[in-house]
Amino acid sequence: MSSNLVQLARTHRQSHAPTAVELLSAAVRERGVLTDEDIRATAAATGLPEATVHGVATFYDDLLAPRGRRHVRVCTGTACFAATGGAHAEQIAAGLGLRAGECSDGGSLSLAETVCLGFCHSAPAIRDRDLVDAGPGAVERVLAGTARQAGEPAVRSLLAEPALTGAGDWSGLRRTLAGMTADELLAQVDAADLRGRGGAWFPAARKWSFARAQQDTCRYVVANGDEGDPGSYIDKHLMERSPALVLEGMALAGYCVGASEGVILVRSEYPQSRPVLEAAIAAARAEGLLGDDILGSGFAFDVHVVDGAGSYVVGEETALLACLHGLRGTVSARPPFPAERGLYGHPTLVHNIETLANVPLIAARGADAYRELSPQSPNAGSKLVCFNERFAQPGVVEVPFGLTVRELCEEVAGGLVGGRAIKAVQIGGPLGGILPASLLDTPFDSAPLAEQGCMVGHGSILAFDDRTDMRRLASHLLAFGAHESCGTCFPCRIGLQRAHEEFASREAVDRARLEALLETLEVASLCAHGSGMPAPIRSLLTHFPGELGLR
Amino acid sequence: MQVTIDGVQVDVEPGTTVLQAARAAGAAVPTLCFDERMAPFGACRVCLVGVAGPDGRADVVASCTTPCRADMVVDTCDPRARRVARVVVELVLSELPVTPAPHTELAAVARDLGVHEPRWSGEVHQPDHDTRHPYLAFQHELCISCGRCVRACDEVQGAFALTAVGRGFGANVVAGIDAGFRDSACVSCGACADTCPTDAITELSLLEIAGATEDDPRSRR
Amino acid sequence: MNERFDSDVTTTCGYCGVGCRLEAHTRAGRVVSISPAADGPANRGHTCLKGRFAHQFSRSRERLSTPLIREHGELRAAGWDEALQRIASELGRIRDTHGPDAIAGLASSRATNEDCWAMQRMMRAAIGTNNIDNCSRVCHSPTSFALRRSLGYSGATGSFDDIEAAGAALIIGANPTEGHPVVGARIKQAALRGLQLVTIDPRRIELADFAVVHLSPRPGTNAAVVLGLAHVAHRDGLLDRAFIQARTEGFEAFAELLAAYDPGAVQEISGVPGADLERAAHVYAQAGEASILWGLGVTEHKYGSEVVQLICSLALMTGKIGRPGSALLPLRGQNNVQGSSDMGALPDTYSGYRKVGDEAVAQAFEACWGVSLSRSPGLKIPQMFDAAVAGTLKAMYIFGEDVAQTDPNTAHVVHALQSLDFLVCQDIFETETTRYADVVLPASSFLEKSGTFVNAERRIQLVGAAIEPPGGARTDFDILLAVSRALGHDMRLQEPEDAMREIAALTPEFTGVTYERLGRRGLQWPVAADGTDHPILYEREFHREGGRAHIAALPYKEPGDAADAEFPLVLITGRRLEHYNAGTMTRRTANIELMDRDWLELHPDDAAQLWIGDGDLVSVRSRVGRIELEARLTERIEPGHVFTAFHFPEVRTNLLIGASADVNTSCPEYKVVAVDVRPVAEQPAHTPALAPAGPA
């Protein structure tokens, strides 16, 4: 990330003023399309160069698609693919008479594709203006102009004392401020072996120590609410239904690393999340749980929310920071790590939403209690998982680690709807491997999943039923990968395009050439997007070679 | 501190990158997005080298963005690193509608790595030329999004007249609000043309020279 | 480097004083491309649009390719023998009739050291006069004077590398991103990386956007601002007492003087808000290492040399001199303004700034050249024109300078040129000045010659010929040798390198200079016999009697011109990015497509009062002249001030500049000219239908 552009953004920053990305999003919302004047005005307001702002305007999906007075967004996420094989998107396009990215002549109607709306429990999902309709009949209702807001997913916990499905009571922060030093809190988090829930499984305490070791004492905590993984709606659930848990986790992290400001980046595909979080922030301030002098302890910490604008890769931490600076959401090489040089060049702790939501319990009840949440597993704590619409009982479930995938699929989620057979499940998002039905007895734990080329990842469990065309699945996944590539590193920028072309064509897939691509992506990509995309393709090559049309 | 490059021990200052150490040790590490006037970017991944891990198995890393650690053992000829770097260059060639002119850095790197005709065909960048500036010409189809021009404009000149646009395979570079050099903040310093490894931005007058040679290097594939 | 070029020649840029090292790429005898040398110490692999692109002039059809001789009032082509014969006979006649001091020469700050050396030797040894000057007279002579007075050497105390080493920097009266673009870029980058920048200029220059604080003093009040900065540093105890004690003299008187320049008083004089002045003083004085850079906005004033002395005083009292990051860096205008003066192309000094009256020095030169030399100082440029008008100066030899466009008070200059019996111009194009020449000699550009330039950081760098001079044109060095020979003084030098051997032998600061040692990175003078050079001066002692620097205590004095009822606005002149000075070269390149005219910048408030719209043609009248040009409105200039460049002969901005000049060096006061601006009557669009009735 250009340190000069970060410096310009910092120099001109007014406290909590909208970022360039937000200003452009607002202009698109208001007027349907961005003009050069919008770009100049945004540049003037943010201190960023005009060319830079233009580059931003060409990066994010939300800023690219023209908007009519009625803007329809059809979800092309993997859960919707599993539900319809992509037919819903074609039906909507045909029904509206528009292709994705088009706006009708008079500007009354526009259509865009989006990944994903987080209604995977009820696919396919379509956003019509600000209503998200989902599930059977959604296509017909949208085409008839009678869309209705889809229901929220069911939420359960398998734990005797739920840790992540409650509202949050700030007891962890109260206990900490009443008599725990930052060192003691760090020791608890370390002993609890809290791991990053965003997919990387990195020990949180190491990140915290790294941030604390920096000389620069202006530090930030950033909550990554850019849950772009198609098929996952766990962070959406946390932000919208347990916001206090997230805020408390941020405050605790801030206390430990010496930050006084927290920022939550919320993806624009979740329009409900920001208002709920902001209401929770206001409520916490009113109760003295956020603000200048929290609970009379002298500790100051406050949080504000920033919107994304449609980019999967912004979930990667350096791209996330770029987005918070109002810049193109592209990935940067590390080092420097955000913990050394992050938001506005200052040490920054970036955590996924669910990771932060785990902190209050550790603070309130200690590392031992936390580890005991998963007695059957070497992994500590509990995990939220979510199931897609193919399952009989989809929804968000808090589970201990150590159950088998079969137990999760068949007992917790009740098997597939209509008694159909599971062909395969993809776990943990688009970068996660695909487990065939024959391997469902694999324990839901980081190590055994890794042995099968899979990961816990974000915790989504996405089933494909016996009707799924695996070559089309590969093409679907790679289309997503290529579309979302930020374009920085060459392997991902070109490699995913070429990989997608292999499967999208009617010709046989050249296996040797594909293997060369996959190795290049794995070895040479700058971030997990490029290096992760081969995982599900490798699974398909291993388990379903006959269905891929190889030569 | 000491690091070992291809079996030779060299002393390096803390903060030295593996690429700097390797080049100081005389190793030839190819690069496409690197320009020593600018901060390392780590985009092209052509500078991959092997670094011996604790288990003896080599990690493949981008040498330009990897800082040296004490006692690091680096193999610039690591077979996997070389193999992958070649595929990357092959992919780069596959996105261009024409072969790069022989004098360009891209052509030189391809020669050095022994990469010729790419195995992939597929989509290529569409020809799009802008010659409105008296000195600087854009040939957008030759852009490989290495970011060198954008970074030169940012980190060397400070005009911030260039930006990357689009994303993924569609990424490219433009001046101003896609207005060309003249209607942007460009100060015509030419740092972009100077650093461009493919002639996507080049001097207008040199374009004429390239066209005038009998053996036109820019023949269509 | 690649198959597109026949040769790649490393050389040094011939435009501004930054001294970018360049690679000139040729094909079929023409320069087809120029790229920056990656190892150039000043440019670090970068350059600007002038250095990189503005080389087409070298193959312009308008290049002089044969000598011209005036016959029946017209210039006609002539052979070299005829031209040399004509010069020798005319100058010989004038010397014999009126004495050697009836002849004067101008060396060129655009030419090499070796050219300037040959030129001053020709004037001194072949003609016998010290009437030799160069165009630093009209730009940085005040800097040279003041640095010698305060510190000892006439040169920057440090290097451009100090910009990156400094914690803070003051930029006074300079617009580096346009005038010295590569240094401007380095400053901007440093500011983005944390350099605390203070800009002081009547215009809100681009770098002001990257500054901690920008001060906009009224033109001509720099002295008050610098005294105010020193007052605040003194008042707030931000002095380096140990440095003052050990290494300077004159502080007490300075401290006494400062009492009168509190922020309130300075605001009264300069218009700079007191709080901004304090902020600026703190930024500079509180930084561990801080540098000051200045340009012609400091020097081209009635008291320009005194302001440079005050800048030295400020640096001395805060001890910010002689260390990495703490430097005084005058931004020299031309590629070899430093070297042409170093070479003694000055009326009062030999090379190394040694007085022509210094007997030992004069004898050394006499011994080397085998002639007897004049001990009396010659005329400075403005005095030359006065003497020509008065009839005491009969002939001039003007080498590489278009005085009729660039010097002030153009009408007077033209009068002087017309008054001469004989004028020789040695140039690459016909210019405003060659209109008055009796003989014009076709010379070479920097791309066609070899030798050395000295950049603004005292760095002597090699110049390499990439191509041949066109047609019958010759290198300046060869021309000067030939003219000197024709005048009866054979210098017995073959190549520029021979001249450098002579320079090294006769000039203490150049003692250890050889072309071989200069290599690719050059050397910063003084260069000791063993080749050791000095990126930083005064690390231990100053180059003055006793080794102490002098803290000059000089009060603010009003500028030579001021706005009044008849001329209510103050005109400032300066450069723009796309062109270079008289534009002789850049106007003959495609840079003309990027900027094709001069224009007058004025503030929208003034424009509204004067009923001037953006783009209107306006008339600008000063006490001595009147010009017309297009107006452009900008808030980068303060109300009450107007600005224009002087790149286009059509406009002839310097018609407006009067005779006021620096009290010590006669450097013209280009930067403060009271003017009256009004719309040209033929442009009715913005004239009110019913103008408010004035008092009857």
State whether A8 and C189 contact (CB < 8 Å): no
Q: Render B113-154 in DSSP notation, one character per residue.
A: HT--S-S--S--PPP-EE--SSSEEEEGGG-----HHHHIII
Q: What is the mean pLDDT of chain A?
A: 96
Phi first, then psi, for residue C199 (nearest 5°) are: -110, 135
- Mutation target to probe the B interface, by most B beta carbons within 10 A, among C6, C8, C39, C48 is C48
Q: How far is the alpha carbon of B175 from chain C, nearest alpha carbon, in Å?
A: 16
Cβ–Cβ < 8 Å for C671, C312: no
pLDDT in tens, C193-212: 999 999 999 999 999 999 99
Closest-CA distance of chain B to residue C149, Å = 36
Tell me which chain A residues have a C-beta less than 8 angstroms from the C-beta of C192: 3-4, 7-8
Report how far apart the first and last C-alpha atoms of chain A are (Å, whole number): 41
- Is residue A238 within 8 Å of residue A245, measured between CB atoms? yes
Alpha-carbon distances, residue C384 vs A24, A243, C98, C133, C329 (angstroms): 63, 84, 15, 9, 30
Give the whole-angstrom CA distance, residue A537 versus residue A530.
Answer: 12
- Which of C129, C90, C85 has its CA nearest to residue C106? C129
Q: C interface mutation test: which of B132, B153, B182, B188 has the most C CBs within 10 A?
A: B188
Determine how many CB atoms are found less than 10 A away from the CB of residue C37. 22
Residues of B in contact with A334 (CB under 8 A): 65
Secondary structure of residue B106 in the 3-state scheme: helix
Max intra-chain CA distance, chain B: 57
pLDDT, tens digit, 9 for 90 and up, residues A299-358: 999 999 999 999 999 999 999 999 999 999 999 999 999 999 999 999 999 999 999 999
What does the pLDDT average to over C509-534? 98
The token duo for C475 is 């290198």
**C647 vs C206, more confident:** C206
Nearest neighbour of B155 by CB, restricted to A4, A36, A526: A4
Report which residue type is found at C177: T
Q: What would the pLDDT profile of C267-308 be if each residue is shown by its tens digit? A: 999 999 999 999 999 999 999 999 999 999 999 999 999 999
Is the pLDDT at B219 greater than 80? The verdict is no
Q: DSSP characters for A382-405? A: EEEEEE-TTBSS-EEEEEETT-BH
Interatomic CA distance for residues B44 and C629, integer angstroms: 51
In this structure, what are the phi and psi dihedrals at residue C9, rounded to the nearest 5 degrees? -115, 125
CB proximity C30 to B under 8 Å:
no
In a mutational test of the C interface, the residue from B23, B153, B194 whose CB has the highest number of chain C CBs within 10 Å is B194
Rg (alpha carbons) of chain B, rounded to whole number: 19
| Residue written as token pair 């209107």 | C616
Please judge whether C577 and B210 are an interchain contact, meaning their C-beta atoms are less than 8 angstroms apart.
no
Instruction: Among A51, A333, A517, select the one facing B40 at the smallest CB separation.
Output: A333
Are the C-beta atoms of residues C296 and C174 closer than 8 Å to each other? yes
CA C42, CA C182: separation in Å to the nearest integer? 8
Q: How many Å apart are CA C142 and CA B91, to the nearest integer?
A: 61
Nearest CA-CA distance, residue B209 and chain A, Å: 30
- Is residue C244 over pLDDT 70? yes
Does residue B216 register a pLDDT over 80?
no
Burial B68-82 (b: 16+ CB within 10 A, else e): beeebbbbbebebbb
Distance from CA of A9 to the nearest CA of C (A): 11
Task: Report the distance separating Cα A144 and Cα A147, nearest Å.
Answer: 8
Per-residue pLDDT at C351: 97
Which A positions 495-534 lie with beta carbon below 8 A of chain B?
495-498, 501, 510, 513, 516-517, 519-520, 523-526
Chain B residues with CB under 8 Å of A491 CB are: 45, 84, 87-88, 91
Q: What distance in Å separates residue C192's CA from the closest CA in chain A? A: 6
Sort out which chain B residues have CB atoms less than 8 A from C47's CB and list them: 189-190
Query: Which residues on C lie below 8 Å from B189 (Cβ)?
Result: 46-49, 52, 181, 185
> Which pLDDT tens digit goes with each residue over B49-62?
999 988 878 899 99
Of residues C558, C681, C70, the one with CA closest to residue C302: C558
Averaged pLDDT for residues C329-346 = 95
Q: Residue C545 contacts by C-beta under 8 Å, 6 or more apart in sequence?
A: none
Question: Tokens 């990215």 sit at which residue?
Answer: A101
Q: Which helix (H) or strand (E) holds C428?
A: none
Q: What is the DSSP letter of A310?
A: S
| ipTM entry | 0.94
Measured distance CA(C213)–CA(C197) in Å, rounded: 7
Q: Which pTM does this prediction carry?
A: 0.94
Structure tokens at C267: 């605001």
- Per-residue pLDDT for C693 more than 60? no
Q: Do B187 and C48 touch (CB under 8 A)?
A: yes
Three-state DSSP state, A114: strand
Query: Given CB atoms, is C48 within the 8 Å cutoff of chain B?
Result: yes
Mean pLDDT of the A84-104 span: 96
Interchain contact B194–C (C-beta under 8 A):
yes
Helix or strand run (H / E) with residue B80: helix B79-95
Q: Which amino acid is it at C446?
A: F
3-state SS string for A508-540: CECHHHHHHHHHHHHHHCCCHHHHHCHHHHHHH
The answer to whether residues A53 and A42 touch, using CB atoms and an 8 Å cutoff, is yes
Residue A516 vs residue A199, higher pLDDT: A516
- Kindly determine whether residue A7 and residue C189, on different chains, have CB atoms separated by under 8 Å: no
CB neighbour class for A56 (10 Å; exposed up to 12, middle 13-18, buried from 19): buried
Q: Report the half-sphere exposure of C332 (CA within 13 A, side-chain side).
A: 34
- Closest CB to A333: pick one of B60, B65, B145: B65
For chain C, percent of residues with pLDDT exceeding 90:
87
pLDDT at C417 over 50: yes
Partner residue opposite C594 with nearest CB, options B134, B158, B194: B134
CB–CB of B187 and C181 under 8 A? yes
Helices (H), A148-223: 171-179, 182-192, 204-212
A:B CB pairs within 8 Å: 160
- Distance CA(B9)–CA(B3), nearest Å, equals 6
Chains that touch B (3 or more CB pairs under 8 A): A, C
C13 DSSP 8-state letter: -
In contact, A316 and A527? CB cutoff 8 Å:
yes
The reported pLDDT for the residue numbered C397 is 98
B171 in reach of chain A (CB within 8 A):
yes
> Do C188 and B156 form a contact (C-beta atoms < 8 A)?
no
Spatial separation of the C-alpha atoms in residues C352 and C172, rounded to whole Å:
27
pLDDT score recorded for residue B210: 61
Taking CA–CA distances from C44, the nearest residue in chain B reads B37
Give pLDDT, residue B208: 75
pLDDT digits (tens, 9 = 90+) for C34-69: 999 999 999 999 999 999 999 999 999 999 999 999
* The pLDDT of residue C695 is above 90: no
A43 CB within 8 Å of a chain B CB: no
Residues A10-16: what's their mean pLDDT?
85
Search chain B and give the residue with CA nearest A524: B45
Q: Please, is A493 exposed, middle or buried when counting C-beta atoms within 10 Å of its C-beta (0-12, 13-18, 19+)?
A: buried
Cis peptide before C684 (omega within 30 of 0): no
Using a CB-CB cut-off of 8 Å, the residues of chain C touching B182 are: 594
Residue C34 near residue C55 (C-beta atoms within 8 A): yes
B87 vs A52: CB contact, 8 Å cut-off? Answer: no
pLDDT 10s digits, C9-39: 999 999 999 999 999 999 999 999 999 999 9
pLDDT at C8 (0 to 100): 96
Task: Report the pLDDT value the prediction gives residue C578, as an integer from 0 to 100.
Answer: 87
Closest to C63 measured CA to CA, from C439, C450, C441: C441
- Best CA proximity match to C209, nearest among A328, B159, A327, A52: B159
Residues 186-215 of B with CB under 8 A from A: none
Pairing relationship of beta strands C21-27 and C7-12 according to DSSP bridges: antiparallel
Chains sharing 3 or more CB pairs under 8 A with chain A: B, C
> Nearest CA to CA, how far is C191 from chain A (Å)?
10
| CB-CB contact of A51 with B176 (8 Å) | yes
Mean pLDDT, to the nearest integer, of A76-88? 96
Nearest Cα to Cα of residue C641 among C569, C544, C535: C569
Residue C682 pLDDT grade (very low, low, confident, very high; cuts 50, 70, 90): low
What is the dihedral sign for C-alpha A431, A437, A442, A445? positive
CB contact under 8 A, C193 and A8: no
- Cα atoms found within 13 Å of the Cα of residue C4, Cβ hemisphere only: 21
